[in-house]
Amino acid sequence: MEATHNRSRAWLRRHTAELRLALRMTASGLLAYALAELLGLAQGYWAVFTAVIVVQASVGGSLKAGIDRLLGTLGGAFYGALVGLIIPHAEPFSRGATLAVAVAPLALLAAMRASFRIAPVTAIIVLLSTSGGEAGPFAAAVARVSEIGLGCIVGLGVSLLVLPARAHGLVAKTASRNLALIAEVLSASSARLAGAADRRRLAALNDRLRGALRQLEAIGREAQRERRSRLSGAPDPEPLVRGLRRLRADLVVIALASEPLTQASLAALGAPLAAAIAGVAEALRRIGASLAAASELPSIDATLATLAAYAAAMDQFRASPLALDLPAAETERIFALSFALAQLRGDLSDIALRAAAFAGRTPTAA
């Protein structure tokens, strides 16, 4: 019983964000339904659909979803009504021609501006719905905008008032996952250099990292939207996102150069190289954990020392006869790795400062 209880609590902790989102969506749908019934809306289910759709994982995401849906509905409804008033469409052939005139420009607008994706659908509903045929296209447009507008207001209100999730916190957690993935890629690259990991695993990790970085960029945009709307006074996430992009660029060079080294190269550089990469990976994991927990950022001085030790070993390697005897391809990879690690040293210091600024903290001293 105790074990089951502990597992349940652990599951709840892992899925707190998802449970809060489910609660907000449920509350939004129920409130929209109650208001639609109270106001006597003929097709109140559109308000319920919209209220549930608008509620997103963060306030910034809900704001964008609400604005996009409202803009698309306004454009589609009133343009569809205008076309319906100008072009008679009582017969099937004329109705098809009216649809073409209404949908074609809205479809082009939706292709150019994602925020108008709902516009062509709304125009079709206005022209073909039963209510549009009975009351006329303009009345149908007004009804549709009223229903969608109510759903948008309810969805945004619930997002702001019921267990609100600010995008700032989601940025921190997603950035933490990115840092953990970068650390995994570095560890896999180090193992690959020693001949202990395959290229497919490294490629799979890089694919996951690309997806995680895209997700971070999207959430970062939501956080910026909250800032612009004065819904949040949290720090700008863009410097943190830029820092992670630079780390990702360093990984590209490291991954490309990560082919098994010869025994001679490993004897000269293997230990300091492995220590440097392991130190950076561990530092990134600790920075990510601190960022997610909003705790004090760790010192990276020890990691910087391992990178300096590798740089010193590389200087000795350059001056040794061994560097002249290596195959040209391996020499190129070693120098590419050294360049990437030098870049990584600066970018590690930068990401520590960016993470500290985003979390409102400063890195601890050594």
**pLDDT tens digits for 307-321?**
999 889 888 888 888
Bin 249: left if φ > 0, else alpha if -120 < ψ < 50, else beta.
alpha
Short-list 186, 259, 237, 244, CA closest to 212: 244
Given a cut of 60, whether residue 101 has pLDDT beyond it is: yes
Cβ atoms of residues 33 and 137 within 8 Å: no
Q: Is the pTM of this model over 0.85?
A: no
Name residue, tokens 């939501």. 222
Predicted pLDDT of residue 255? 80
Burial of 242 (0-12, 13-18, 19+ CB in 10 A): middle
Given a cut of 50, whether residue 341 has pLDDT beyond it is: yes
Cα 304 from chain centre? 30
Class of domain 175-359: mainly alpha
The pLDDT tens digits for 136-179 are: 778 888 888 899 999 999 999 998 888 888 888 889 999 999 99
Between CA 308 and CA 65 the distance in angstroms is 48
Q: What's the pLDDT band for 365 if we cut at 50, 70, 90?
A: very low
Q: Which H or E run includes 66? A: helix 59-86
Domain boundary assignment for the chain: 2-161, 175-359
Residue count of the chain? 366
Given a cut of 70, whether residue 209 has pLDDT beyond it is: yes
Between CA 245 and CA 349 the distance in angstroms is 14
For residue 264, how many other CB atoms are within 10 A of its CB?
12
